[in-house]
């Protein structure tokens, strides 16, 4: 081969590599360099292997653009890191799509496209419409007196157990004298409350091991997955490498929840009555019995729908409460101010209730601040652009996955001034009343979490009751640092023992 041909070949290779690294669809947001096999994902891993959302925020600063693009493997992806673009994505119908066809997503749903999180189009619209209509009667989206009373019963049992000590073996593993293991100690009430919404009954205290099993399985699922999709999204064959990329725990934890749901459905079917609706499941079972139902209504769809609705309550609510408690213990003046407000408004003769929330603005502001500074689902759930459109002055091609970096938005100095400071007052107006919450912890628009009202009720109740009844202290040797947390679909706190002293 002549020297000229070698030079031409080398130049051609360099040109092809350059085009591979820098080419992207025309008029799209500024982009990161593309690296073979993993694309820009290598850059995220290099910058922050554990917390991809932090790496995404870092490159927004490097590019001087809070809206930018990159390749995740072979997928062209757009990432928004600011309030304006995040809210627009969540608000607009063009971005209501989901990534539905990934192997690891279908594998947890009987190898089909099922549930509510990872479906789109007419299937999602029909399931969403049915869920919203029938779950509203059981406390999702609006107040429901019976459910709220039952949640308070469960929380009262929780406080009583902390005060008077454990009875059953499972309780003795997580309560030792005046020490309680968080977030595990929150699992029984968290699982029981959402199970009651779905099935219309609760596990009694002797069955709380089932509740804890559900929550521990849900947390395993959360920790097994990368919120950006990660390696399994880009290269499906990697699922065959056992648990190297979390796939084994992804499947094991998911079907652990499925198995409990199947047993619950057997009981529900055997006692189903046309004249009584005990919970959401009864309504769905009756729908399945209709001759003219849509093909989207199947028992497998119901099971994965229940998994999707319940596993955030199993894992995210206890994580949010534990994050908040840790921040309060790191900021004792704030904790004391919350307790003083509760004492002055409610006192000690009765428990705090949801009705008190409007009169406890500093308590609510503290909860909002903890949810801002610890954005529990940093990337939410990835959206997809269903048709060619524009965003922030740039073109977005159809079928482009779109990432909303909620954590970057909630820690943006341009928006918050001092985002690294735990300061509940930022959520209060000059008159001491609550201002608008811009943190979007439950999303926005048509993909808004249907359980927002329910979740806020449970989070407020858990934190307010704990602070009303106890002073909380770290235990020496426990993971008390605010950085002691575990990545995944949600950022969950490491398990830790906390000392509770009755007030």
What is the rounded distance in angstroms from the CA atom of residue 71 to the CA atom of residue 107? 24
Domain span including residue 322: 23-502
Q: Say how many domains are in the chain.
A: 1
When pLDDT is averaged across residues 343-348 and rounded to a whole number, the result is: 95
Judge whether residue 230 has pLDDT over 70: yes
Residue 8 lies inside a defined structural domain of this protein: no
Within 8 A by CB and 6+ apart from 7, the residues are none
Nearest 5 degrees, angle CA 286-CA 289-CA 294? 100
When pLDDT is averaged across residues 301-307 and rounded to a whole number, the result is: 98
On whether the CB atoms of residues 27 and 394 are closer than 8 A, the answer is yes
What does the block give as tokens for 52?
């991809």
- Asked whether residue 449 is marked as a ligand-binding residue, the answer is yes
Nearest 5 degrees, angle CA 318-CA 324-CA 325? 90
Helices (H) and strands (E) in the chain, counts: 19, 13
Judge whether residue 241 has pLDDT over 90: no
Residue 7 lies inside a defined structural domain of this protein: no
Q: Say which range, 9-18, 124-133, 169-178, 233-242, has the weakest mean pLDDT.
A: 9-18
What is the rounded distance in angstroms from the CA atom of residue 102 to the CA atom of residue 85? 26
When pLDDT is averaged across residues 466-475 and rounded to a whole number, the result is: 97
User: In residues, how long is the chain?
Assistant: 503
55 closest CA partner among 408, 403, 370: 408
Decide the pairing of beta strands 401-404 and 75-80: parallel
Judge whether residue 285 has pLDDT over 90: yes
Q: Which residue has the higher pLDDT, 144 or 415?
A: 415
Decide the pairing of beta strands 67-72 and 394-396: unpaired
Residue 35 pLDDT: 93
Model confidence at 141, in pLDDT bands (50, 70, 90)?
A: low
What CA dihedral angle connects 454, 455, 456 and 459, to 10 degrees?
Answer: 130
Quote helix, strand, coil % in the chain, to nearest 5.
55, 10, 35
Within 8 A by CB and 6+ apart from 364, the residues are 357, 427, 434, 460
Model confidence at 129, in pLDDT bands (50, 70, 90)?
A: very high
Residue 17 lies inside a defined structural domain of this protein: no
What does the block give as tokens for 218?
């849900």
Residue 1 pLDDT: 63
Judge whether residue 435 has pLDDT over 90: yes
Judge whether residue 137 has pLDDT over 80: no
Residue 341 lies inside a defined structural domain of this protein: yes
What is the rounded distance in angstroms from the CA atom of residue 116 to the CA atom of residue 127? 7
What is the rounded distance in angstroms from the CA atom of residue 36 to the CA atom of residue 49? 18
Residue 142 pLDDT: 67
Judge whether residue 48 has pLDDT over 80: yes
Residue 18 lies inside a defined structural domain of this protein: no
When pLDDT is averaged across residues 423-439 and rounded to a whole number, the result is: 95
Instruction: Encode pLDDT of 54-85 as tens digits.
Output: 999 999 999 999 999 999 999 999 999 999 99
Residue 1 lies inside a defined structural domain of this protein: no
- Quote the mean pLDDT of the chain: 94
CATH number, domain containing residue 405: 1.10.630.10
Residue 3 lies inside a defined structural domain of this protein: no
Q: pTM for this structure?
A: 0.95
82 closest CA partner among 336, 411, 456: 411
Residue 142 lies inside a defined structural domain of this protein: yes
When pLDDT is averaged across residues 357-371 and rounded to a whole number, the result is: 97
Residue 140 pLDDT: 73
Judge whether residue 106 has pLDDT over 70: yes
When pLDDT is averaged across residues 156-160 and rounded to a whole number, the result is: 94
3-state secondary structure of 262: helix
Within 8 A by CB and 6+ apart from 271, the residues are none
Q: 479: burial class by Cβ within 10 Å (0-12, 13-18, 19+)?
A: middle
């Amino acid at each position: 081969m002549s020297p000229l041909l070698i030079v031409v070949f080398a130049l051609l290779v360099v040109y092809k590599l350059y085009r591979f690294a820098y080419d992207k669809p025309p008029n799209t947001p500024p982009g990161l360099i593309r690296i073979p096999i993993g694309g820009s994902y290598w850059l995220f891993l290099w910058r922050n292997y554990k917390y991809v959302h932090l790496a995404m925020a870092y490159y927004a600063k490097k590019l001087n653009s809070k809206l930018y693009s990159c390749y995740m493997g072979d997928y062209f992806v757009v990432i928004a890191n600011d309030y304006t673009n995040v809210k627009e994505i969540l608000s607009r119908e063009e971005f209501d799509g989901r990534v539905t066809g990934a192997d690891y997503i279908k594998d947890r749903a009987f190898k089909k496209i099922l549930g509510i999180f990872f479906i789109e189009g007419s299937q999602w619209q029909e399931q969403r419409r049915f869920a919203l209509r029938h779950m509203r009667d059981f406390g999702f989206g609006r107040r429901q007196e019976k459910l709220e009373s039952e949640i308070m019963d469960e929380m009262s049992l929780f406080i009583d157990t902390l005060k008077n000590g454990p009875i059953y073996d499972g309780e003795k593993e997580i309560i030792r004298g005046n020490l309680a293991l968080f977030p595990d100690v929150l699992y029984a009430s968290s699982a029981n409350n959402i199970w009651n919404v779905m099935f219309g009954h609760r596990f009694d205290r002797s069955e709380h091991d089932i509740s804890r099993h559900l929550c521990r399985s849900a947390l395993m699922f959360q920790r097994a997955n990368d919120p950006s999709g990660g390696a399994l999204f880009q290269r499906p064959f990697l699922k065959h490498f056992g648990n190297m990329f979390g796939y084994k725990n992804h499947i094991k934890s998911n079907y652990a929840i499925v198995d409990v749901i199947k047993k619950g459905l057997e009981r529900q079917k055997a006692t189903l009555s046309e004249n009584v609706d005990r919970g959401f499941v009864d309504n769905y079972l009756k729908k399945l019995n209709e001759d003219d139902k849509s093909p989207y209504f199947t028992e497998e769809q119901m099971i994965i729908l229940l998994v999707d609705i319940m596993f955030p309550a199993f894992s995210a609510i206890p994580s949010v409460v534990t994050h908040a408690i840790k921040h309060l213990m790191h900021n004792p003046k704030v904790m004391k101010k919350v307790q003083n407000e509760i004492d002055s408004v409610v006192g000690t003769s009765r428990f705090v209730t949801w009705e008190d929330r409007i009169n406890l603005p500093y308590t609510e502001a503290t909860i909002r601040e903890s949810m801002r500074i610890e954005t529990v689902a940093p990337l939410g759930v990835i959206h997809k652009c269903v048709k060619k459109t524009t965003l922030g002055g740039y073109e977005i091609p159809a079928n482009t996955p779109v990432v909303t970096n909620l954590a970057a938005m909630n820690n943006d100095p341009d928006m918050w001034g001092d985002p690294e400071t735990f300061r509940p007052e930022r959520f209060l107006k000059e008159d001491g009343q609550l201002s608008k919450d811009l943190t979007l912890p439950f999303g926005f628009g048509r993909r808004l979490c249907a359980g927002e009202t329910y979740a806020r009720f449970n989070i407020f109740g858990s934190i307010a009751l704990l602070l009303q009844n106890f002073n909380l202290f770290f235990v020496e040797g426990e993971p008390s640092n605010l950085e002691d947390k575990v990545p995944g679909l949600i950022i969950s706190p490491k398990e830790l023992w906390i000392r509770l002293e009755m007030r």
